[in-house]
Each structure stands twice: as structure tokens, then as C-alpha cells.
Amino acid sequence: MRYLPQTDADRAEMLALIGAASIDDLYVDVPRSAWLDGPVDLPPHQGELQVERAMAAMAGKNLHGGNAPFFVGCGAYRHHVPASVDALIQRGEFLTSYTPYQPEVSQGTLQMLFEFQTMVAMLTGMDVANASMYDGASGTAEAVLMANRSTRRHRAVLSGGLHPHYREAVETYARYGDFEIASQTLVPDGVEDLASLIDDSTSCVVVQTPDIMGRLHDLRGLAEACHAAGALLVVVVTEIVSLGLVRSPGDMGADIVVCEGQSIGNPMGFGGPYLGLFATRDKYVRQMPGRLVGETADSDGKRGYVLTLSTREQHIRREKATSNICTNSGLCALAFTIHLALLGEAGMMRLARLNHEAAQRTAERLATIDGVTVLNESYFNEFTVRLSRPAADVIDALVERGVLGGVPISRFEPDNGELADLMVVAATEMTTVEEIDALGNALAEVLS
């Protein structure tokens, strides 16, 4: 049975009314050479079991984080998600509740988002966090727009260590927006003088720590330079677990903090859906994009939750809204909140330590291999090595040996020959001693 609502008689009537002889007449503007000359070559329909087998056979060709030694990071990280997270987010009350438009009837959702915001503010060391953005990259672009509004300036300086995908997201927003971007080039030694690029038209400096090559940055000096010039410091964190171990951006003087929250509670999932975390200082809260949940008391004095400061938002301020985001990543934020609640503060710190130790073991092993130089002086759970051959070729050779060894920087910067031999290697609490051995042995073989 085909589920097409019109009958042949319906179609004949419609064609007669517009004076077309056949459906094909509607496509006369498509060049004849582009027309299909027969049905698309697909196998005939099959039963569920057959389809499952066919799909499993196709999926079996993949080499992925679940069935191979895995050292890929650069913005998406393989972490353990407790089974309880998936069980709880699938409760009907949560799973079916979209960001509430009649918010106060959804007290459970609002309470969860309030707790989420509290966690994000504590992790980032900031005063206030919103109910989440789509992901770290679009959150970064929103941070630049917010800095432009707050300072009434229109030039953003982007560090070369910012994830290139994030930089591209900001550039996309800038293309038809009324602001300039001064992007720095990624350099292998990571030394850049961002403070010297700040002038009286600079709205913000955007810097990532740990950066795309895994290096940690003490941003206190840069924060001072920004504030002295009336610009804001936007700090981007792509690996949120790092905040269990390193000084928070808020503690270093950040004005806006944007993070990718995937690492807590959310699977890598082929790149999404992900979770943007967004936090700022109290004094900028009215320029903040996104939804914000507040705690209050009802007329009987009982605790309740509301959407607050909605006058910033699109449904009230229309074209003058702070942002066109009028939703959030609700389910991903829920997964994050449940996982972080299960970990607790001590658990988060322990998780961070395990990540760093795994990276340390991996770096120590790789440093013993001829043709490998570890470039980082500092790192959290990810570091960059210089190889004696182009990294993209080495990674392909590692895949042939069943190992997913890392990310070649050339994947982001294909035209910069200086970066061709660099590979970024990530390790997490999931990384086993056996996996490190497998990478070490395979890499030694490939480079010999």
C-alpha cells in the first residue's frame, strides 16, 4: 500500500485546472539530462529482521570508539555515561517536555534547568548561566554578539588556539552581521600576543583553554589587558571535564564563558546533538542570549521556578531580542545534570584526575617512540605530537591496524604545511593500558 493522499482522479483534476498535460510538465525547467531515466536502484522492501541484518552488516564496516583503541578528541570526547542517565532521561515527564512555552506548569523541567544552571555557574566560576545553547560552537558566536552589544563595539579578536570549527561558526555569524573578526593563525608553539591586538574598537578576545592542541592557558594577564581596554574576555572550554582539575575561567577574570558540555552525560553520537554551556557576570545578564530559569516563592510562600528576564527574548522583544535562540538543548542538559549530580563535586574532581593520568600515561608511552615528539608543556587529557611523517597518512595507517590514533591538525588547516605533521591525541577515563599499548605498538610500526 502506498500512502499517497491523492487519487488519480484528484491529480487529473488539478492538472486540468492549471493546464498541464502531465506531472512531468511541471518539471520542464529541469534540464532533460538531469532527469532519472528509471526508478532509483534500491533493493526491494524487506522484513524488519532482514533490514536489521543488512544495517548491522553496513555498520560492521565502521571502526568506532566502541570497538577500537580510541584517541580521537578535538571537541568531542569518549567518556563513560552511566546507564542510569539513559534510564532517567527516558522518563516520559522529561522526554516529552520541550523547552516550556507555558513554563510554570512544568515545574520539574524548570527545577532541573535551575539545577543545571547552578552546576554550570559553579563549574565555570561565573555568576549566572543560562538554560543551555545548541552547542559550544554556536554558543561562541552568540558570545561574540553579546560582547558586541555590551561594549557597543564591533571587532572580535579570535585566538589561533580556538577550535577551527568554532572560528568558522563565528565567521558564519559575522558574514551578514555588522562586525569584524581578527582571527589569529594557529602556530605550533602556541605563542601569540593577543593583548597587543586589542584596540578601542575591540569588543572581545575569544580564547580557548585547553586549546585545540590541548595546551592550558593562564588567562589572568589577558583578562586584565581586556578590561583595561574596555573589551570583554570570552573563554571557550571544549572539554568540560578539565574544570574538575584546573582553575576556572571565572577565577581567571572571564566575562563570558562558553563550553561544550557533551563530555558529561552525552554520547559522541556522530557529532550531535550536543550541549552549549553559557555563563556570564551578573552585570551582563540582560545581554545574555537564551532562556533563564529563576527560583521564587508563590503566593503561599512555597518554592517555585519561573522563566525569568524573558524581556530579553524573542517572544517579547521581537527584533530587538538579544538572540534568535528561544529554546535550549533540554534533553542533553538533563543528561548532563543527572550525570553531574551522580558524580558530585568529589566525583567530578576524581574523573578529571583519571583523565589527566590517562593522558599522561599515553604521552609518556608515545614519547619513547622514534619519530614522535610531544609538543605540549601543559595539557589536561589531550596533547599534540609532531610526527616524522604527515599526520593524516599516519592516522590512515593506524586505522589499517585497527587503531583510531587521533586527529591530524591538517584536517582543519589543510593549507598550512607547518602543521602537517601534527596529531592531537586524547585520552579519557575510558582509555585502558591495553589501548595505550595498541597505539604505541602500531605507531612505532608505522613510523619505523
Partner 1 sequence: MSDRLYSKDHEWIEMDGDIATVGISEHAQEQLGDVVFVELPDIGRSLSQNEEAGVVESVKAASELYAPLAGEIVEVNETLVDDPAQVNADPYGNGWFMRVRIDDTGQLDGLMDEEAYQEFLAELE
Q: Which residues bind partner 1 (CB under 8 A)?
A: 152, 286, 311-312, 316-317, 320
Query: At closest approach, how far in Å is the CB of 311 from partner 1?
Result: 4
Q: Which is nearer to partner 1, 220 or 283 (CB)?
A: 283
Q: Are 243 and 123 in contact (CB under 8 A)?
A: yes
Of residues 61 and 320, the one with the C-beta less far from partner 1: 320
Nearest distance, CB of residue 232 and partner 1, angstroms: 17
DSSP 252-278: GT-SEEEEE-TTTT---GGG-S--EEE
β-sheet with 180-183: strand ranges across: 128-129, 276-280, 256-260, 232-237, 202-208, 155-158, 180-183
Amino acid at 115: E
Query: Is 227 or 286 the residue whose CB approaches partner 1 more closely?
Result: 286
Q: What are phi and psi for residue 301, nearest 5 degrees? A: 80, 10
SS3 state of residue 80: coil
Residue 305 CB, shortest distance to partner 1, in Å, is 17
CA 246 to CA 242: how far, in whole Å?
6
Query: CA quadruple 99, 102, 106, 112: dihedral positive or negative?
Result: positive
Cα–Cα dist 169/174, whole Å: 9
Q: How near is the Cβ of 139 to partner 1 at its closest, in Å? A: 24
Output 87 or 316, the one with its CB closest to partner 1: 316
Rounded to the nearest angstrom, the gap between the alpha carbon of residue 120 and the centroid of all alpha carbons in its chain is 15
The rounded distance, in Å, linking the Cα atoms of 251 and 227 is: 15
Minimum separation from the CB atom of position 208 to partner 1 (A): 31
What minimum distance in Å lies between the beta carbon of 312 and partner 1?
8
Pick 41 or 319: Cβ nearer partner 1: 319
Cα 88 to Cα 82, 91, 108, 289, 326, distances in angstroms: 10, 6, 13, 28, 25
Shortest distance in whole angstroms from residue 242 CB to partner 1:
35
When the beta carbons of 312 and 365 are compared against partner 1, the nearer one is 312
150 vs 355, beta carbon nearer partner 1: 150
